[in-house]
């Protein structure tokens, strides 16, 4: 598989892991859309939310259950936005499900 996120997870491509569990990692996004921009990447490869089954739903639940610790680790106590882009029209450029965490500043109200 030629997935950049899978290569990061396997250690084939170096990236500083800011937070990690058995199910996912958190890294910096290289193309910042806010003062703080991170990616939450499940270790299991799947591209879209419509592929979520019972096993994958547990991964997503684990991400949500860890958001308090992630928020603290990334110093986002003043607020953040969590975004999942699905397919190219929504801006998904890597076909491995991932979440963007945007924060560190007052975010635009455009998508509220």
**What span, in angstroms and rounded, lies between the C-alpha atoms of 100 and 28?**
10
**Residue in 32, 37, 45, 98 annotated catalytic:** 98
DSSP label at residue 63: H
- Residue 32 designated active-site: no
Sign, CA dihedral 21-59-70-11, equals positive
CA diameter of the chain:
38
Catalytic residues: 98
């Amino acid at each position: 598989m030629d997935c950049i996120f899978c290569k990061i997870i396997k250690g084939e491509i170096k990236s500083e892991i800011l937070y990690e569990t058995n199910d996912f990692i958190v890294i910096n996004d290289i193309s910042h859309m806010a003062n703080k921009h991170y990616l939450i990447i499940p270790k299991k490869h799947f591209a879209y939310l419509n592929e979520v089954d019972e096993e994958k739903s547990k991964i997503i639940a684990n991400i949500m259950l860890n958001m308090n610790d992630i928020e603290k680790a990334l110093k986002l106590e003043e607020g953040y936005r969590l975004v999942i882009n699905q397919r190219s029209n929504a801006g998904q450029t890597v076909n491995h499900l991932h979440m963007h965490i945007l924060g560190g500043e007052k975010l635009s109200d455009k998508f509220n």
